[in-house]
Amino acid sequence: MSGAEPQLQIYGNHACALGAIAAGCKFFAGYPITPSSEVAERMARELPKVGGVFVQMEDELGSMAAVLGASAGGTKSMTATSGPGFSLKQENIGLASMTEIPCVIIDVMRGGPATGMPTRPAQADIMQARWGSHGDHPVIVLAPASVQEVYEESIRAFNLAERFRVPVIVQFDQVIAQLHENIAIPDPASLEIHDRDWAKGSKKKFQPYAETKNGVPPMPRPGDGYRTHTTGLTHAEDGFPTQDPETVTRIMDRLLGKIERNRAEIDKYESLEVKDAQYLIVAIGISARAAARAVSDLRDAGIKAGLFRPITLWPFPEEAFAKASAKAKAILVPEMNAGQLVLEIQRLSGGGPRVVPLNRVDGEPIAPAQIASSIKELAKGGKK
């Protein structure tokens, strides 16, 4: 942002809706659920202004199915949910992955399991976002940490979904969702907006799931005359079901590989004071904001602390993390769950620096003082 854009004071959930509209979203299907309901409420107000459609469905399963239908019909589509609703969407998120239908899912995290604490924050959907749907499947997850970033990452979510034909999840905790902050709204003409690559050329030879240079096949636009077959079954390049091992291997390699081969366009992160950091903090959402304050306080106290914040949570920005943690003696992972992100950090650290969790599951955010205290203890040789 240049700083010259109009300023708007707004909640995170509302910023999400405005970002979706700016990205070209024209369809929303959802079901009210705390603490994400304001996304749906704002979409219900904004979509008619741009010729879009809002539908309150009978449940979360129907909502996700409606989003896939609208997107397959050529419309940028989104849904929003929390906790139990996110669980109910998983089967159709898997269908989106297999059929390569672009869509955006907003997940405002709250305490659980089951109904849990609907009005309190948590960060307990981290692993569900990556592995919640069964089988090996491609998915992108973004984790904004401010109201401004919610707006920007909602736009980027549509760009990534359309560009790579994958479901993209925007995941933030209840604090960020209902936080009230000033944000800059750029001129719509200045925004970089990506639309999906529509099929062109010969209709006779068209294969809806053909291999391409970047692993993303062009999508047939309804009404353009391209014949296609859509199924959740494993399918060949022509879209028809197959269990031939060689074909399945080839198709799955492309399906999963399109994320890996395009990491340069997908990975995004923020680093703070990591060049000489002996004690690295890895966090997302409101926990990362607390960590940023803790880093400042620790530096004032003479402790070389730094922060690595994945904005693209899945796929995790592994190369950037490796550079950020190169000089670390220990890594602290504060998160509002019983230990999820820490598992990925332990995997990536490979027995190098000690990885220590800092967990909170009581519905309260982790405070900067808690993080700073844990780092000071590590600096003294504690938390073994």
16: Cβ–Cβ under 8 A, 6 or more apart, which residues?
39, 42, 80, 106, 150, 151, 154, 170, 177
pLDDT 10s digits, 59-103:
999 999 999 999 999 999 999 999 999 999 999 999 999 999 999
> Given 3.40.50.920, 3.40.50.720, 3.40.50.970, 3.30.930.10, which CATH number is that of 270-379?
3.40.50.920
- 280 neighbors 353 (Cβ within 8 angstroms): yes
Fold of 7-190: Rossmann fold (3.40.50)
- What's the pLDDT at 5? 78
Within the chain, all domains assigned CATH 3.40.50.970 are found at 7-190
Q: Are strands 269-272 and 312-314 parallel, antiparallel or unpaired?
A: unpaired
223: Cβ–Cβ under 8 A, 6 or more apart, which residues?
none
Within the chain, all domains assigned CATH 3.40.50.920 are found at 270-379
pLDDT 10s digits, 152-168:
999 999 999 999 999 99
- What's the pLDDT at 319? 97
- What's the pLDDT at 218? 96
| Average pLDDT of the residues in 274-278 | 97
Distance of CA 97 to the CA centre of its chain: 14
Q: Which stretches within the chain are classed as H helix? A: 12-23, 37-46, 60-72, 83-99, 126-131, 147-164, 174-177, 245-260, 263-266, 285-300, 318-324, 341-349, 368-379
Residue 143 has pLDDT above 60, yes or no: yes
Residue 180 banded pLDDT, cuts 50, 70, 90? very high
Q: Are strands 180-184 and 7-11 parallel, antiparallel or unpaired?
A: antiparallel
Residue 4 banded pLDDT, cuts 50, 70, 90? low
Express as a percent the part of the chain with pLDDT over 70. Answer: 98
Q: Residue 338 gets which letter from DSSP?
A: S
- What's the pLDDT at 351? 82
- What's the pLDDT at 134? 95
